[in-house]
Structure 1
Amino acid sequence: MEGTDEERPLIHYLPPQEQCSEYTCDGTVDIDRRPAPKQSTGNWRACFFILGAEFTQCLCFSAVLKNLVRYLTNVLQESNVDAARSVSTWIGTCFFAPLIGAFMADTFWGRYRTVVTCLSVYTVGMLVLTISASLPLTLHDPYINSGDGIRRVVAYLGLYLIALGAGGIKPCISALGADQFDGGDPVERVTKGSFFNYYYFTNNVGTLLSTTVLVWVQDNVGWGVGFAAPMLLMGFSLAMFVAGRRVYRYRKLGGSPLTRVSQVVVAAARNHRMKLPDDSSLLHELPRLNDGDHYRVQHTTQFRFLDKAAIPSDDNSPWRLCTVSQVEELKMLLRIFPLWASLLLFFVVTAQMSSTLIEQSAAMDGRVGPFTVQPASLATFNVVSVLIWVPVYDAVLVPLARRVTGNARGLSHLQRIAVGLALSAVAMAYSAQVEARRRASSAPMSIMWQAPSYFVLGMAEVFTSIGMLEFFYEQSPESMKSLGTSLAHLAVATANYLNSGVLGVVAAATARGGAGGWIPEKLDEGHLDYFFWMMAALSVVNLLQFMYRSCHVHS
């Protein structure tokens, strides 16, 4: 509920030092749309609720993802290649939908309302998926050509409702958490970096429980129970997230980011005949106001053609005249794009943990002492690696690197991403060697030979995935933080669609003349090791071009 002017604190009349000690200085407000008090809102007290929602979302997501390829092959009777492609397409949708969620958050709903809405949709999706897993095995629909009839339709309906829910949660949870730390406070600004580390840490705690407890329940108790348990937790998480609404800090909406970007492009095109002034201070800019409704971005000389959108003229239409800050917002997005493209191959590599690596482990001996390790449970090593390396990175590597680089973060965002790209190439090379040895072995090879690959990929995620999230949040325009964060998820989406296409192309190109190809139904008749070697070689090339591009970008 919005208060009257008399009820609002007179923050704008206090000295700057007192303002920043009592209220946030980055324009965030409390639930009543008043300047956010530092002592009662934000910081880790608010992140408790936000990280709790992220934990449950990840628990549900992993409960579906980590064993989905087995659900599709064993229950819906899909082939190995079809199941791998279906999983990659679904994952791609889950990480493409954040573009829609980010647009809704930045333009209409705000981050909090978007998360609440999408948590509700997510819960319904889990309910529908649970129903699909509980349908009788003999239930078929003669009017549907697919072999599993109604079960298949209900299952995919639930999966894509989950994807739609994930679209609002993934870009907004991390951005809402980062908003809880005052960008105008040096101490809170540094703490924000730790938030991204522990955001990813919490994410992987949920994954760990899924890949151990819930995967076991799905394989040994039943798919219905294995999906119902995380569904109930999601409902509880929704209630807890709403309960924390009074301690959150909220960002004011800055208008449609797509409209703002489109206005710059159109205005620059319409003004293309106009000459740019030598003095950039002559370009159009709004005056700086005390209430934080307007902010300025420093002018840069890159992409100078776009500056023509800010040349003053007799026509003050927003589609003919834009501010310098508005132009710089588009420049920020353009500078991010080449580095964004470099991340696609990294996520094609990590997508193997949900497709080809699981198919490889299914062809190995899962017995470890008195226990039998399920193929999807190997992802536990990936999660454990993340849980180990996040605190090690935050408490050990950052202080050591800080002494060498002089950077407050230890490593810059781009340096951190590059380390992860190198590690992903190492993981693929190792997986190729394991597969070659498995095919050459006369006896079944232990599934535990896969563990190092998952562990190295976990290390790679700590460097690249977390560095990417923080980089896109920091480099995105102030009015487009959700959209900027969604770019990280869009990279995952595009990579999974790309992986689905790559698997199809490789399978078709290598199976000519009646041959089984690299990825046949029976892996012993194929060459999955060739596929892994191909991914390792592409990863090295990608690392080299990323290092070249990053030399021209300051993080």
Structure 2
Amino acid sequence: MEEHEDKYTKDGTTDIHGNPAVKKNTGRWKACPYILANECCERLAYYGMSTNLVNYMKKFLHQGNAQAANNVTNWSGTCYITPLLGAFVADAYFGRYWTISSFMIIYIFGLTLLTMTASVKGLKPSCHNDVCDPTSGQTALVFVSLYLIALGTGGIKPCVSSFGADQFDESDESEKKSKSSFFNWFYFSINIGALIASSVLVWVQTNVGWGWGFGIPAVVMAIAVVSFFVGTPLYRHQKPGGSPLTRIAQVVVASCRKIGEKVPADESLLYEVRDKESAIQGSRKLEHTEELKFLDKAAVETEDDKMNSQANPWRLCTVTQVEELKSVVRLLPIWASGIVFSTVYSQMGTMFVLQGNTLDPSMGPHFKIPSASLSIFDTLSVIVWVPIYDGIIVPLVRKYTGRERGFTQLTRMGIGLVISVFAMLAAGILEVVRLRIVARDDLYDSSDYLRMSIFWQVPQYFIIGAAEVFTFIGQLEFFYDQAPDAMRSMCSALSLTTVALGNYLSTLLVTIVTDITTKDGKLGWIPDNLNRGHLDYFFWLLAILSIINFVVYLMIAKWYTYKKTT
């Protein structure tokens, strides 16, 4: 009997046919290459579009600095909001595998349409002497294709990381250790794709043409689809547990209906199914916690409840269902603390690029590096730091803390928040130096590059990469680990929305700063001619917001209680 139990996973995962997953034949690292290759190709396609998109909008859609930056951050933000839809579909109905498969088709359709807007006569804007005059229809088609891509990525982003983590059984100690490493290498694969995008694809867009620059990501995405399906026989699948939003609503309604009931001091008197498994498909039982006692009223079993042969979920919920909602509520303050960090991160695609446009891009006598390609140093930073973190930092810290992961997940994220402050300080200092050169040489209205190498931007990109390894990867692992089993896609999507809200906050800050600083006919901090602006003030503002955010985060982290399963 024991040998039979060891044959199968113990976390409820199944194979593609719905049968219990055989440990020897499925999951673990042998299933991961196909998932990681899919993510690498998808991220290559995404960053191949987004890295240089602000320059595409400036040149071909004839938009100013602030408008182009806001359009990019709004679109990028939407790419991190749509995962809420994809995650809901995955957790409630389709499961992660079929959700990824379906949304990839929408993604490819959007990429194909975007390629056509940059290459097909009549769909691409007409240009004369480097000045383009797009029609309203052509501009609209570009945005339709971009937002189709945003919808497609919504079903991939929240599911791929969770689907990869599903390949490791938490009840097996060796597989549990591998799961922690998986998130590091998952983010590593993202940045391999980003590395190629920010170097090769940006060069193609700048020097060959945007038709090729968008067409290559479309082909790469097709390769991602093939890679994902090839690994199908090896995958482990978590069953969808039904609508998580419905279960949350049931707890709230049941608590309100029993507002006059008293929660018993003995937690064993609260309602829970007697089966070994939870009443929620695909979820383990959760231990009762003392926080948010009001919600416990939903699990108070009254005499009326006992008289019914079957519990009405809108009147009586299990402890596990109540704890599901508590887990999500506990995650929200941690989630909110990531928004400012994501605002800092979003500057790589907007303000860093605009700053780089004014600097000397020469690499020797015959080659110039596009300003958008400087994000390659963020990517290289991540690629350097992931093996250092996984192979050196974790073992060293483990000796002192005794924890398997070295740092707690919350400590890891907090370190990244601190590092991000230095990225903004580096960007601000560079801008101060740049403006001093402008003033010294009276270059206020010069359209030429400054005699200052673009490679002075490298430190700010490299520092953000280091911050990502701590905060973004820590966030991925934290939200997967602390999410209820049947809500993991939703909670992964929730962590991604910090990037969306970070982009939207960036747009809001740019709008507010522009409105305030352009009063009385002034040019403001971020004019089209940055030589007459004060972009450094914007970077100082973000540094101050980051410090305030970290102080608040310390208080939130101290309050947080980690999830416990039975």
Same fold (TM over 0.5): yes
Counterpart position of 1:21: 6
- Between 1:418-427 and 1:20-29, the stretch displaced more is 20-29
The separation in 2 between residues aligned to 1:127 and 1:414, in whole angstroms, is 41
1:438 to 434, 443, 452: 434
Instruction: Tell me whether 1:531 sits opposite 2:538 in the alignment.
Output: yes
Counterpart position of 2:210: 223
TM-score of the superposition, structure 1-length normalised? 0.94
Contact conserved, 2:283 with 2:485, CA < 8 A, in 1?
A: no
Instruction: Tell me whether 1:85 sits opposite 2:74 in the alignment.
Output: no
Counterpart position of 1:9: none
Counterpart position of 1:38: 23
The separation in 2 between residues aligned to 1:211 and 1:233, in whole angstroms, is 15
Superposed structure 1 runs of 4+ greater than 4 Å apart: 137-141, 290-294
Superposed, 1:307-326 pairs within 5 Å as 307-313=296-302, 314-315=304-305, 316-326=311-321
Query: What is the letter of the counterpart of residue 450 of structure 1?
Result: Q
The separation in 1 between residues aligned to 2:434 and 2:122, in whole angstroms, is 35
Superposed, 1:107-506 pairs within 5 Å as 107-136=92-121, 147-289=134-276, 295-313=284-302, 314-315=304-305, 316-370=311-365, 371-441=367-437, 442=441, 444-506=451-513
Q: Are the structure 2 counterparts of residues 184 and 270 from structure 1 closer, same or farther at C-alpha, using a change threshold of 3 Å?
A: same
Structure 1 vs Structure 2: percent identity of aligned residues?
44
The separation in 2 between residues aligned to 1:285 and 1:512, in whole angstroms, is 62
SS at structure 2 position matched to 1:329: helix
Instruction: Tell me whether 1:56 sits opposite 2:41 in the alignment.
Output: yes
The separation in 2 between residues aligned to 1:465 and 1:430, in whole angstroms, is 20
Contact conserved, 1:20 with 1:185, CA < 8 A, in 2?
A: no
The separation in 1 between residues aligned to 2:79 and 2:289, in whole angstroms, is 35
Contact conserved, 1:133 with 1:151, CA < 8 A, in 2?
A: no
Instruction: Tell me whether 1:552 sits opposite 2:559 in the alignment.
Output: yes
Contact conserved, 2:118 with 2:124, CA < 8 A, in 1?
A: no
The separation in 2 between residues aligned to 1:48 and 1:463, in whole angstroms, is 23
Contact conserved, 2:80 with 2:496, CA < 8 A, in 1?
A: yes
The separation in 1 between residues aligned to 2:195 and 2:6, in whole angstroms, is 40
- Between 1:150-159 and 1:392-401, the stretch displaced more is 150-159
Deviations 1:468-521 (A, max 9, x none): 000000000111010011111111111111111111111111111111100001
1:74 to 39, 52, 59: 59
Deviations 1:295-341 (A, max 9, x none): 31000010000000001121431101000000000000010101111
The separation in 1 between residues aligned to 2:331 and 2:283, in whole angstroms, is 23
Query: What is the letter of the counterpart of residue 145 of structure 2?
Result: G
SS at structure 2 position matched to 1:96: coil
The separation in 1 between residues aligned to 2:38 and 2:282, in whole angstroms, is 30
Contact conserved, 1:23 with 1:35, CA < 8 A, in 2?
A: yes
Deviations 1:67-90 (A, max 9, x none): 000000011111100000000000
TM-score of the superposition, structure 2-length normalised? 0.93
Superposed, 1:94-109 pairs within 5 Å as 94-109=79-94
Contact conserved, 1:430 with 1:453, CA < 8 A, in 2?
A: yes
The separation in 2 between residues aligned to 1:176 and 1:391, in whole angstroms, is 22
Question: Can you give the 5+ residue segments of structure 1 that lack an aligned partner in the other structure?
Answer: 1-13
- Deviation for aligned residue 1:113: 0.3
- Deviation for aligned residue 1:368: 2.6
- Deviation for aligned residue 1:277: 1.0
The separation in 2 between residues aligned to 1:139 and 1:86, in whole angstroms, is 19
SS at structure 1 position matched to 2:254: helix
- Deviation for aligned residue 1:150: 2.8
- Deviation for aligned residue 1:19: 4.8
